[in-house]
Structure 1
Amino acid sequence: MRFIVFIFMFCGYLFSTSIKDVANIVGVRDNELIGYGLVVGLNGSGDGSSSEFTIQSIANMLGSMNIKISPDDIKSKNTAAVMISAKLPAFAKAGDKIDVNVASLGDAKSLKGGTLLLSALKGVDGNIYALAQGALSIDSSGKGASMTNAKITNGASIEREVGFDFSNQNMITLSLKQNDFALASKIKNSINKAFDLDIARATDGKTIIIERPEEESAVDFIAKVLSLDAGEVNANSKIIINEKTGTIISGIDVEVSPVLISHGNITIKIEPKRPYELKDNEVDLKDGSVIDTSANILRIANDKITLANITRALNKLGASPADVITIIKNLKQAGAINAELEIL
């Protein structure tokens, strides 16, 4: 039985917030790590003999342990080659633990029950920043869940730190999460007023440069700045899509502009509200939406069309979760949805 869950939240509205909720500090960010490794202990669901790189990796691993064997003599379906990814947090120190994601690289059918062998995680500069190892955890709760993607919570230990001397920064740059000239001006004025100094200036709708007073330490100063009131901010709606499980989380008031979209055998026509008479095979959903059941056409004519209207109507048309997700992504790409879209 197909099903899709919609949880409507993240509504757009005006609210008073602090600077830390709407801006980031330039230079303080996560860094992406990547690595290659072997997962062992699979119950016959690993890579087949066609994945030559897996066979060669097994031979290389055994060779490093003084076990000499030809790759031609290795026939193991209990091993899979994987790619490993992780995020190195800002200011992370040697010995800290981070989560890692593991994905099959070959033709393994499942990574369930496997254990990742010690693997190096590198940054874009080629240096090793962490070492990963541990038992894999797979989310198999949903019907569409992938068995070739896994996670290891706290599965990597940081071995190398990213050098960033924050304490000696005299100029601190804030980057707003959205381009907003009015908000940038508000924040600049709020900082200057709080310190009674002309130390902040907005260079564009996203960037605010702040000069740190000599008597303030960098940590104390930025803590004070981030806690300042940014005033009333228009919180943009957000749509979160988990393609693995078919789950969509959206603001209930996310509006959709007039647009015509066709996907497979489904056609959606969103237009300004106008009176019209029902035709044969059309069903009135009593919310400004009309479904033509004979041709899988969804017409929506209302003063305010929301994503909730569309998803409800698509469910009545029998659209699959994959169809609904694809249509939402296309609506966003067409510029019909003014909301942030996050794909998990």
Structure 2
Amino acid sequence: MKIFILFLLLLSTTYATKINDVANVVGVRDNQIIGYSLVVGLKKTGDGTTSKFTLQSIANMLKSMNIDMQSVDIKSKNVAAVVVTARLKPFSRQGDKFDITVSSIGDAKSLEGGTLLMTPMKGVDGKIYALAQGPVSIGGKNDKGAGSESHSTVGLVYEGGLVEREINIDLYNQEYVTLSLKESNFKNSVAVQKAINDMYSTQVAVAMDPKTIKLKKPADKSMIEFLAEVQDIDMDYKPKNKIIINERTGTIIAGIGIEVKPIIMTHGDITIKITEQATPNQPAGSMVVDDSLVIGLNENELYTKEGTTTVANLVRSLQKLGATPKDIISILETMKSAGSISAELKVI
């Protein structure tokens, strides 16, 4: 398996961005809704007789249409029981359409070619907020296609959801509103406060904590106008240093400036020795990666100048030593646990 490493300089520096990109308005959010229903019209790829809840659902549906039939008498394999999920966007209005996801919960082989029957979709409060219905698309070929079988029991119904009940968010009549940073950071919270107050030359924003900024709209503007302007304000933003690892694909994303503190560790047949030296040693048989890094090929040791060791250099060096993606990921995780890497490490 090949490994892909992306080194992003922006992850370790301060740069200008708009407030809308780093903060949300509290209360303005998506809402999860869910429903249970049947997908019909399948080509003998539906649930079998072992999925008794499917057979009972078919019997209940037929009974609602004045057709009296017992579940034990139903042998159809053209029907599958599914859970229907979606996100209801903020400010959605009656009649708005949205996409929904349909997932099999029985032993159906595929939902390809099926049609979702009318499905009431409820929120966490048990109230019906939308109805869903329509043809299911699995976004691929039949179950003989490469890699398609594992995904053919999950499909989409494009614009299959229809909003029936609105979730009211009254921003217009509010005097105060709260912004929530997507990532907690004291500096960024103060930076948002400063950028907004500089824009209006008065104290309209107050940073309450590293994630929360409270705003008071100016007297000459509506809340909608105020928020439209606030979201478009530029600010100095410093994101957290992160190392993001995808174990399935072997992809590593890291900032160029993320430092690695001195450490000595062994992983399999690889020995890593990171030391702070004014001039890096260059043992016999070693090779120079760049002006700050030397690899000792005989002992698999890394020697670096003082204060120049970074994750970018480390990963590049490990590749030259022939380390596999699994080795590199394990080494980074171990270094994080040992405190040699202070940046946040996220495995996805």
When residues 273 and 340 of structure 1 are mapped into structure 2, their CA distance, relative to the original with a 3 A threshold, is closer
**Distance in 2 between residues matched to 1:342 and 1:97, nearest whole Å:** 35
Matched residue, 1:176: 181
**Distance in 1 between residues matched to 2:251 and 2:57, nearest whole Å:** 39
Matched residue, 2:218: 213
1:143 aligns with 2:147: yes
**Distance in 2 between residues matched to 1:327 and 1:183, nearest whole Å:** 32
Using the size of structure 2 for normalisation, the TM-score is 0.75
Matched residue, 1:294: none
AA aligned to 1:309 is: V
Residue of 315, 318, 325 corresponding to 1:309? 315
Using the size of structure 1 for normalisation, the TM-score is 0.76
**Distance in 1 between residues matched to 2:2 and 2:52, nearest whole Å:** 39
**Distance in 1 between residues matched to 2:94 and 2:347, nearest whole Å:** 31
Question: 1:7, 1:250 within 8 Å by CA — same for their partners in 2?
Answer: yes
Describe how 1:88-167 pairs up with structure 2 within 5 A. 88-140=88-140, 143=147, 145-167=150-172
Deviations 1:233-269 (A, max 9, x none): 33655748597xx59584574959689899xxx8998
Matched residue, 1:197: 202
Bigger shift: 110-119 or 301-310?
Answer: 301-310
**Distance in 2 between residues matched to 1:257 and 1:240, nearest whole Å:** 17
Number of paired residues?
324
When residues 136 and 339 of structure 1 are mapped into structure 2, their CA distance, relative to the original with a 3 A threshold, is farther
When residues 151 and 169 of structure 1 are mapped into structure 2, their CA distance, relative to the original with a 3 A threshold, is same
AA aligned to 1:79 is: V
Identity across the alignment (%)? 38
Matched residue, 1:272: 274
Deviations 1:163-205 (A, max 9, x none): 1111111111011111111111121122222212222111111
AA aligned to 2:187 is: A
Describe how 1:3-42 pairs up with structure 2 within 5 A. 6=4, 8=6, 12=11, 13-42=13-42
**Distance in 1 between residues matched to 2:343 and 2:128, nearest whole Å:** 40
Matched residue, 2:230: 225
**Distance in 1 between residues matched to 2:215 and 2:29, nearest whole Å:** 18
Runs of 5+ in structure 1 lacking a partner? 279-283, 292-297
AA aligned to 1:119 is: T
Q: Pairwise CA RMSD of aligned residues?
A: 4.3
Runs of 5+ in structure 2 lacking a partner? none
When residues 317 and 187 of structure 1 are mapped into structure 2, their CA distance, relative to the original with a 3 A threshold, is closer
1:51 aligns with 2:51: yes
1:188 aligns with 2:193: yes
